[in-house]
A and B are shown apart, each in its own frame.
Chain A
């Protein structure tokens, strides 16, 4: 926004806000919302599933992004090449396609494989959510791995040389200097990536994972309503995005920046 952001109390904004409130009141009174109480419990569960998916896949994806970035920034070619290929493939194909490849493709292959059908993993592999978690994790890792590559490469050489000169072993220098400095450099992108990840989670509903989007689809099938459930869904995602943005702004204010 910058310096041109002005107060909401300006006259034209008051009029716009009044119009906005009018539209909301109109929607609340003229549209059908009688289904809402019946589904409120399931909707809350759905939001919980969405947030759980978001948290799990973002954390796992970031843990995977660190070695991916490191391999591309400093690894030998036989590590750098596969890491770069992974990031290129993930970033070059639609997430929906990756998700369906894993669920329909791998899922149907597993079914032909007696060793897998008889193993302990089969009860899990028959469900949809492991494929959803895997696809979302790989997607986050692919995009963030590219960011981490730049972050690792951008840490000044002198800092690493200084760490070595203090007698730190390569591992200690990595743990104390290189990794924290790289993560610090990657932090500003993390907020945007996490919002993108939130917006990617509803795709898992297409492989029967029951997140908030799937609940809303259920409502649409049961009530034959088109707009009301979708508008509520858009509102829910807007609130979640807003919370994420505020939370990351708070987090970034906590992390000290040199010279600030």
Chain B
């Protein structure tokens, strides 16, 4: 009856070389991290554009951005990922057909980055817009009165001023991005969660592999937390301590 304990402790299954699955898991983790980093950066670019549009854009742009952020935040990530994955690959293939090329084989990695980026973009738009609005308007006016150019105002006043308000939200979104990559398992991207399930399915040691993958995700989160705390301390330098 204690067979399963033996099954739990068969550590050689986690060996890095082929009879073990450790190397496969680490490769999956690498894919997850690439998607998370790529999607986060794409989301940041969308967020900067979106926040700028919401603050300075005309009424039409502002309303369209409102529709974008509201839609993305009201629909489950899983459904968005399916929709964007199929729509994105379809649209790209249509364009390739129009250009006369055959259907393109889109890598799961690129599609994943696109999908995570669009989802992250909606949330980052809101975070950046809020942080920008937290900079007192008088400071910007004072900088202008000193004769600073708009770029100097951005570099010297606005960016340092909004950083402490943006860092907690952006840090939280980074942690969400790393965990949202797991949803790409549903569309067949070979990231950590999917390869873990495949490893479990082949060896029947589901419990061992899911625990190992959980530890990997947890390590990513804990290491991120250490880095976040440093960045936050830097961003809040000269400001009163928060409990």
Contact = CB atoms under 8 A, between A and B. Distances in A.
Interface of A: 10, 12-13, 16, 88-89, 91-98, 100-101, 104-106, 108-109, 112-114, 195, 198-203, 206, 213, 226-227, 230-231, 233-234, 237-238, 241-242
A206 B81 CA distance: 14
B206 A105 contact: yes
A202 B76 contact: yes
B211 A93 contact: no
B4 A94 contact: no
- Where chain B touches its partner, the secondary structure class is helix
B95 to A, nearest CB: 17
A10 B60 CA distance: 11
A231 B82 CA distance: 10
A116 B63 CA distance: 57
A96 B183 contact: yes
A92 B222 contact: yes
Nearest to B7: A112
B15 interface: no
A21 to B, nearest CB: 14
B41 interface: no
Given A112-B4, A227-B87, A96 B193 contact: yes
Contact of A97 (B1, B78, B196): B196
Nearest to A13: B63
A201 B183 CA distance: 13
Interface stretch (B136-144, B150-158, B213-221, B229-237): B213-221
A200 B179 CA distance: 12
B185 A96 contact: yes
B110 interface: no
A98 B179 CA distance: 11
Given A92-B217, A112-B4, A227-B86, A237 B207 contact: no
Interface in B69-118: 71, 74-80, 82-83, 86-87, 90
A89 B218 contact: yes
Given A104-B200, A112-B4, A237 B210 contact: no
